[in-house]
Amino acid sequence: MLDERETIGHGDLGHEKLVEANINPKTGLATDYLNHFNEVVMLLELLCDMPECIPDVLAWQPLSYADHFMNSNFAAKELAVRAYNAAPTAERGTFDTITAEMNSEIHAAQCELEEAEPDQVGEIATEVANRLKPLIAEAGGVIHGNDTTPSSEGEAESESSQADIDALFA
């Protein structure tokens, strides 16, 4: 069990310190980690016009949350790692599942790109980038404390709102 110092919202992991460090004080997670995935998406998108960037995509390696921060210029890197370790289990579990899926997608793409014919590179890169973008957005939602699985009530509200908007333009 974590003592009070290592609990989100308390002690060194207090609300103000986390906000100041650009770490969500509710979830203990920071969006800076998503830069690691955005980097590979950018590289994949470049492949359509610059297939010579394949070695850059192939060189991309997954990094754990802690490794990303400890190897970054993020000012509060130690705080980011401590907050991640103290993050609520549900949010961190969901986040870790999404990032594992992204790592798996990227690894599969790297394998495909190694074997691809030059005329296949752009299509593969585009497909993978398009699969990664919603996952990055979903991970961002978890970081920001958004419920990424809408309830049927939330879906009904969304459908009702869309119907209201559609009626305005009919």
Q: Rounded to an integer, what distance in angstroms lies between the CA atom of residue 115 and that of residue 113? A: 5
Q: Rounded to an integer, what distance in angstroms lies between the CA atom of residue 140 and that of residue 32? A: 10
Res 117: pLDDT:
93
Res 146: pLDDT:
86
Q: Is residue 34's pLDDT more than 60?
A: yes
CA 90, 69, 110, 141: dihedral to nearest 10 degrees? 40
Kindly report the pTM of this predicted structure: 0.81
Q: Is residue 68's pLDDT more than 70?
A: yes
**Residues present in the chain in total:** 170
HSE (side-chain half, CA atoms, 13 Å) at 29: 25
Res 96: pLDDT:
98
Task: Name the residue range of residue 134's domain.
Answer: 4-169
Q: Rounded to an integer, what distance in angstroms lies between the CA atom of residue 21 and that of residue 84? A: 13
Q: Which amino acid is at 45?
A: E
Number of domains in the chain: 1
Q: Is residue 38's pLDDT more than 80?
A: yes
Q: Is residue 120's pLDDT more than 70?
A: yes
Percent of the chain scoring above 70 in pLDDT: 83
Res 6: pLDDT:
77
Rounded (10°) angle between helices 121-143 and 34-47: 160
Phi and psi angles of residue 24, each rounded to the nearest 5 degrees, phi first = -65, 120
